[in-house]
């Protein structure tokens, strides 16, 4: 169902607070855990577990070695972005507990895009936590069905996942609010039709605030039938893809996070052993520029090859 207002809100007094969110910190326990995080394999599988990581302020990494799940915390409850695959859901809950937070306090689960590696665990996580699932169309419909449609460039190759009942719809530019938290949805289709990036502002205990962008996947992967250049088969899809890339380039973005941590060297930017800076005000622009170059290369490849038989 589509909410009548542009804001989804929980009726809690602290929701009247706005702006930079500073949540309860679990720093002492987390500092000890961070020092002992084992490295992930060079080519991790989607479900390979890893310890949680602190990103900044009230924002935490609770996903696997290969797939991101991001926890944003507040006194009024927490918001989780993405759920990896179904078998990874217990590990995500365990990571939340390891940080000192209660999974039952997750009030919303947001989605980046409607593929099994990011949406496969959402049904279980929503059931276990009681959280409401929020997504932009057409990802919301795909979540409820457990699979997208031919508008998805990878439709013929991606596996279905457990359907998510009663997904709440959110529009481009709408904001999910919970206590002091305010996470804004940005339409960034292309990798999938429902691709959505999320931004919020996170503050640490010392009052240092950063703009965080969870920029959705932008790679032009497809099955053997889909052609990005075929506007007759997919009206407006290529233009929307390019607008999505431009949107990512313009996001408020001091800290870039991505659904696949390897896409933005996330692990190399977190913790005391970080080898790259966490804060980079040009990261979203560089991420978008790389995506635009890959899309241009894909279109050139399509021009050089005959179209496959339609299915």
d(CA 38, CA 195): 32
pLDDT of 176-210, one tens digit each? 999 999 999 999 999 999 999 999 999 999 999 99
User: Is 201:20 a contact under the CB 8 Å cutoff?
Assistant: yes
pLDDT of 20-70, one tens digit each? 544 445 544 554 445 568 889 999 999 999 999 999 999 999 999 999 999
What pLDDT does residue 3 have? Answer: 46
What pLDDT does residue 87 have? Answer: 98
Q: Is 25 a domain residue? A: no
* Tally of CB atoms within 10 A around 194: 27
pLDDT of 107-145, one tens digit each? 999 999 999 999 999 999 999 999 999 999 999 999 999
What pLDDT does residue 137 have? Answer: 97
Q: Is 168 a domain residue? A: yes
b or e along 41-75 (b: 16 or more beta carbons within 10 Å of the residue's beta carbon)? eeebebbebbbbbbbbbbbbbbbbbbbbbbbbbbb
**236 backbone φψ class: left, alpha, beta (φ>0; ψ -120 to 50):** left
What pLDDT does residue 13 have? Answer: 32
Would you call 4 helix, strand, or coil by DSSP? Answer: coil
DSSP 2: B
Q: Is 114 a domain residue? A: yes
d(CA 294, CA 288): 10
What pLDDT does residue 19 have? Answer: 44
What pLDDT does residue 25 have? Answer: 52
What pLDDT does residue 56 have? Answer: 97
pLDDT of 271-286, one tens digit each? 888 999 999 999 999 9
Range of the domain at 241: 53-304
pLDDT of 210-246, one tens digit each? 999 999 999 999 999 999 999 999 999 999 999 999 9
User: Is 128:103 a contact under the CB 8 Å cutoff?
Assistant: yes
Per-position DSSP letters for 269-304, written without gaps between them: GSSTT-SS-S--TTHHHHHHHHHHHHHHHHHHHHHH
Q: Is 164 a domain residue? A: yes
DSSP 239: H
Q: Is 3 a domain residue? A: no
Q: Is 38 a domain residue? A: no
Mean of the pLDDT values across residues 12-16? 33
134, β-bridge pairs: 110, 168
Mean of the pLDDT values across residues 249-256? 98
What pLDDT does residue 291 have? Answer: 98
Average pLDDT score over the chain: 90
Q: Is 43 a domain residue? A: no
What pLDDT does residue 309 have? Answer: 61
What pLDDT does residue 34 have? Answer: 53
What pLDDT does residue 15 have? Answer: 35
Local confidence band at 1 (pLDDT 50, 70, 90 cut-offs):
very low
Q: What is the CATH number of the domain that holds 153?
A: 3.60.15.10
d(CA 267, CA 49): 14
What pLDDT does residue 18 have? Answer: 39
Mean of the pLDDT values across residues 60-88? 98
DSSP 232: T
Token pair 């009230």 is found at 58
What pLDDT does residue 20 have? Answer: 53
Mean of the pLDDT values across residues 256-263? 98
Mean of the pLDDT values across residues 149-178? 98
Q: Which residues are catalytic?
A: 113, 115, 117-118, 191, 226, 260
282: tokens are 């040009």
7, β-bridge pairs: 175
Q: Is 230 a domain residue? A: yes
What's the total number of domains in the chain? 1
148: tokens are 């997208």
Q: What is the enclosing helix (H) or strand (E) of 95?
A: helix 89-98
Per-position DSSP letters for 129-166, written without gaps between them: H-PEEEE-TTHHHHHHHTS--TTSTTTTTSPP----SS
The tally of CA atoms less than 13 A away on the side-chain side of residue 120 is 20
Would you call 72 helix, strand, or coil by DSSP? Answer: strand
What pLDDT does residue 22 have? Answer: 47
């Amino acid at each position: 169902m589509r909410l009548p207002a542009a804001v989804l809100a929980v009726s809690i007094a602290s929701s009247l607070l706005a702006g930079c969110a500073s949540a309860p910190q679990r720093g002492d326990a987390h500092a000890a855990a961070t020092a002992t995080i084992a490295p992930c394999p060079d080519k991790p599988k989607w479900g390979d577990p890893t310890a949680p990581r602190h990103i900044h302020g009230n924002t935490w990494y609770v996903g696997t070695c290969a797939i991101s799940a991001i926890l944003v915390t507040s006194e009024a409850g927490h918001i989780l972005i993405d759920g990896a695959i179904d078998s990874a859901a217990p590990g995500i809950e365990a990571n939340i507990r390891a940080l000192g937070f209660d999974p039952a306090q997750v009030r919303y689960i947001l989605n980046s895009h409607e593929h099994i590696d990011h949406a496969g665990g959402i049904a279980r996580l929503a059931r276990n936590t009681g959280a409401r699932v929020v997504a932009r169309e057409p990802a919301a419909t795909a979540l409820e069905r457990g699979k997208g449609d031919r508008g998805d460039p990878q439709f013929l190759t991606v596996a279905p996942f457990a359907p998510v009942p009663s997904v709440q719809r959110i529009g481009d530019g709408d904001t999910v609010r919970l206590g002091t938290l305010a996470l804004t949805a940005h339409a960034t289709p292309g990798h999938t039709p429902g691709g959505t990036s999320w931004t919020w502002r996170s503050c640490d205990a010392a009052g240092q605030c950063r703009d965080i962008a969870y920029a959705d996947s932008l790679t032009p992967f497809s099955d053997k039938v889909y052609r990005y250049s075929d506007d007759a088969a997919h009206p407006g899809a290529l233009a929307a893809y390019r607008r999505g890339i431009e949107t990512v380039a313009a996001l408020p973005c001091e800290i870039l996070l991505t659904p696949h941590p390897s896409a933005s060297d996330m692990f190399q930017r977190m913790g005391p052993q970080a080898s790259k800076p966490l804060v980079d005000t040009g990261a979203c622009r560089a991420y978008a520029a790389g995506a635009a170059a890959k899309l241009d290369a894909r279109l050139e490849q399509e021009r050089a090859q005959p179209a496959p038989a339609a299915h």
